[in-house]
Amino acid sequence: MQISELHILPADNTPGILLKPEGFIRIDGRGLIGHNDETSEQILKWIQEYLKNPAELTIIIIALEYINSASAKILVSILKEISEVVQHKKHFFIHWCYEEEDEDILERGEFISTALNIPIDFIRTQDIKNCFKSVC
């Protein structure tokens, strides 16, 4: 069964999420509000389907302006699931964009990288909204 692209548009307090079956995931915007079970379930269900036949390389781009604890928990679940592509002898690469002066977002990414024991490429940028926009 072929899965289709899943695109959840950003709102003022929720990030935009783009999941492409070709092996591209983008999470950007602001993660401010509490846990949304319906959206989280939809994303994790998509990832479970994706893991049945993942691309050779899965690229994940995270470009968050802000992330609270509830949103970080969801993000950790997403990254933990996606890292399972290695069980299929596939690869993943995470780009974590953060604005030059935003040490909180950088530290959150470093913590997630350490906690999950997964490599993350940290990219400092002047404008988080333009980080890797040309890729998607």
Rounded to an integer, the average pLDDT of 97-124 is 94
91 class by beta-carbon count within 10 Å (0-12 exposed, 13-18 middle, 19+ buried)? middle
Report the pLDDT value the prediction gives residue 73, as an integer from 0 to 100.
87
CATH code matching the domain that covers 6-135, chosen among 1.20.1250, 3.40.50, 1.10.10, 3.30.750: 3.30.750
* Residue ranges covered by each domain of the chain: 6-135
Instruction: Return the CA Rg of the chain.
Output: 14
Confidence of residue 11 (pLDDT cuts 50, 70, 90): confident
Q: Which residue's entry shows tokens 């959150």?
A: 108
pLDDT (tens digit per residue) in 49-60: 999 999 999 999
| Nearest Cα to Cα of residue 63 among 129, 112, 120 | 129
- For 135, residues 6+ apart whose C-beta sits below 8 A from its C-beta are 24, 26, 59, 61
Q: Which amino acid is at 109?
A: G
Confidence of residue 135 (pLDDT cuts 50, 70, 90): very low
E-strand stretches of 6-87? 6-8, 16-20, 24-31, 57-67
pLDDT (tens digit per residue) in 19-58: 999 999 999 988 876 556 788 889 999 999 999 999 999 9
For the cut 50, the answer to whether the pLDDT of residue 134 exceeds it is no
Report the pLDDT value the prediction gives residue 136, as an integer from 0 to 100.
45
